[in-house]
């Protein structure tokens, strides 16, 4: 099973010593509310449907979210927003994501990230993103993606870089913005969304309605 194999490779990756140390450090210190939980504390694999036509590309696991639960966007506020929206749009079987064994299943949708480790200050370095690129490349290789959804500007840039190296996009680099759409070759589309982080949702830069609109658009593109 290539999807499972890729996930095992990602989890076993130790290319970035700074990130591995950080993931493990967080797992040791923990957050008070989670002091009785066993933290995952290592790279977080891809999650979802190995036949997904919709691929979400986030930034990196949250220290006490995915780095704790071991599943993308699971156990934090960003995930609450994301899975609620995915469920409303019919890409997820349930509204909530709490632990890696909560029964959540994605349909026609998968989630990856530009960086698979929780980075200090939520900011992976350029070198760390470059180290992680092989996993993104292999994820692109395996999934029959029709629609790439970038959650944030860094995901947008990473998708474009990968797409351009495959000859799926040429010419001027498109600008990131909420709802921005880029036509790629063979009917593939890149769609951009603001990231559902608290920085955006608390400030009202990203509203629930704006986020739902993205998934309505996604549905429309997949049905076209």
Which residues make up the interface to ligand DU (CB under 6 A)?
Answer: 48-49, 105-107
* Pick 98 or 125: Cβ nearer ligand DU: 98
Rounded to a whole number of angstroms, the minimum distance from the CB of residue 160 to ligand DU is 26
Rounded to a whole number of angstroms, the minimum distance from the CB of residue 53 to ligand DU is 12
* Pick 84 or 169: Cβ nearer ligand DU: 84
H/E stretch holding 49 reads none
Closest residue to ligand DU, Cβ-based? 49
* Pick 48 or 65: Cβ nearer ligand DU: 48
Tokens coding 143: 């999934």
Tokens coding 221: 């593109």
> How far is the C-alpha of 160 from the C-alpha of 166, rounded, in Å?
10
* Pick 61 or 124: Cβ nearer ligand DU: 61
Rounded to a whole number of angstroms, the minimum distance from the CB of residue 103 to ligand DU is 8
- DSSP string across 73-140: T-SSHHHHHHHHHHHHTTSBSSS---STTS---BSSEEEEES-SSPPGGG---HHHHHHHHHHHHHHH
Rounded to a whole number of angstroms, the minimum distance from the CB of residue 49 to ligand DU is 3
Rounded to a whole number of angstroms, the minimum distance from the CB of residue 16 to ligand DU is 25
* Pick 109 or 136: Cβ nearer ligand DU: 109
Question: What is the CB-side half-sphere exposure of residue 181 using CA atoms within 13 A?
Answer: 12
Three-point CA angle 6, 135, 113, nearest 5°: 110
């Amino acid at each position: 099973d290539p999807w499972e194999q890729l996930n095992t490779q990602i989890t076993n990756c130790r290319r970035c010593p700074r990130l591995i140390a950080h993931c493990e450090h967080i797992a040791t210190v923990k957050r008070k509310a989670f002091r009785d939980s066993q933290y995952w504390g290592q790279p977080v694999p891809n999650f979802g449907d190995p036949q997904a036509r919709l691929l979400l590309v986030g930034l990196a696991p949250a220290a006490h979210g995915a780095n704790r639960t071991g599943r993308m966007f699971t156990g934090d506020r960003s995930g609450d927003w994301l899975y609620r929206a995915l469920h409303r749009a019919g890409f997820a079987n349930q509204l909530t994501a709490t632990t890696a064994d909560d029964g959540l299943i994605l349909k026609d949708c998968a989630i990856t990230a530009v960086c698979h480790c929780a980075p200090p200050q939520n900011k992976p370095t350029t070198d760390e993103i470059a180290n992680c690129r092989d996993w993104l490349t292999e994820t692109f290789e395996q999934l029959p993606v029709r629609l790439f959804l970038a959650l944030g500007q860094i995901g947008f840039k990473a998708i474009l870089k990968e797409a351009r190296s495959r000859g799926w996009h040429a010419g001027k680099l498109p600008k990131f913005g909420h709802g921005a759409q880029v036509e790629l070759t063979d009917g593939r589309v890149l769609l951009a969304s603001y990231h559902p982080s608290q920085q955006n949702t608390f400030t009202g830069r990203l509203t629930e309605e704006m986020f739902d609109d993205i998934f309505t658009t996604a549905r429309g593109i997949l049905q076209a």
